[in-house]
Amino acid sequence: MTRIHLIAAAVIAALPVLPAAAQVGTATAASPGDPAAKPFIEGLVNDGFAVLRDKSLSRQAARAKFRAILIRNVALDDIGMRLIRRQKATLTPAQLDAYRAAFPEFVLNAYADRLYDYADARVAVQRTIGRGPFTEVHTRVTRPGAQPVDTIWQVKSDGGRLVVNNLVVAGVNLALTQEADFASYASRNGFDALVTFMRSANAKSLAVNTAK
């Protein structure tokens, strides 16, 4: 289940990216997409790094801020439903509700503590590309002594606001990767076991971080 954790790192700390454009959508010639997408991603990145670099915040307080950033800027329910689209038709309403309740916290818990490793990173927007209803914001993440990581943020409009809908990190489409991991786990252990795993991971993380 380790690749499942990539989503949170990319979203909150700005890491990003699938093997390239073909897996995200079909580009319209010379279209830069929504002009608001670039400042949206820049603001999201700046907000995330501000939390990472604020030494006055406890880990618990920082996680609360990350949670607010995640809920405000990421299409969590859309992403969560996409990850279980193979199983969705066979699930009961109660199973869907349990999964939806566990998913946002699971995303946060997956990488919140590891994000501090990227507090010294810098993220620069390279370009934007329109792909149908989405705008890809291409960024480059650099850290001292490390190779740059190219990132693609897929941004869409949701009820008049922009949200992150998917990420491609170093050539890896996070939505497709997470979907495969969830499907594999549910196939081996059952869907209820997947939700139980997510809940137990959330409880463990909460206990650890409350103690800090």
Element (H, E) at 11: helix 6-13
Mean pLDDT, residues 58-85 taken together: 89
Q: What is the CATH number of domain 2-207?
A: 3.10.450.710
pLDDT at 210 over 90: no
Q: How confident is the model at residue 92 (pLDDT cuts 50, 70, 90)?
A: very high
Supply the pLDDT for residue 111. 64
Rounded to the nearest integer, the mean pLDDT of the chain is 81
Domain extents in the chain: 2-207
pLDDT at residue 184 tops 80 = yes
- Tokens for 6, please give them: 């990539």
* Residue 165 backbone phi and psi in degrees, to 5: -110, -20
Q: Is the dihedral of CA 198, 191, 94, 79 positive or negative?
A: positive
- Residue 67: C-alpha distances to residues 47, 49, 52, 163 (Å): 12, 14, 13, 15
Res 207: pLDDT = 53
DSSP codes joined into one string, 84-148: TTTTGGG--HHHHHHHHHHHHHHHHHHHTGGGGGGTT-EEEEEEEEEETTEEEEEEEEE-TTS--
Residue 145 has pLDDT above 80, yes or no: yes
DSSP 149: E
Q: 113 pLDDT band (50/70/90 cuts)? A: low
pTM for the model stands at: 0.78
Residue 24 has pLDDT above 60, yes or no: no
Angstrom distance (rounded) from CA 124 to CA 163: 19
Confidence band (pLDDT; 50, 70, 90) for 23?
Answer: very low
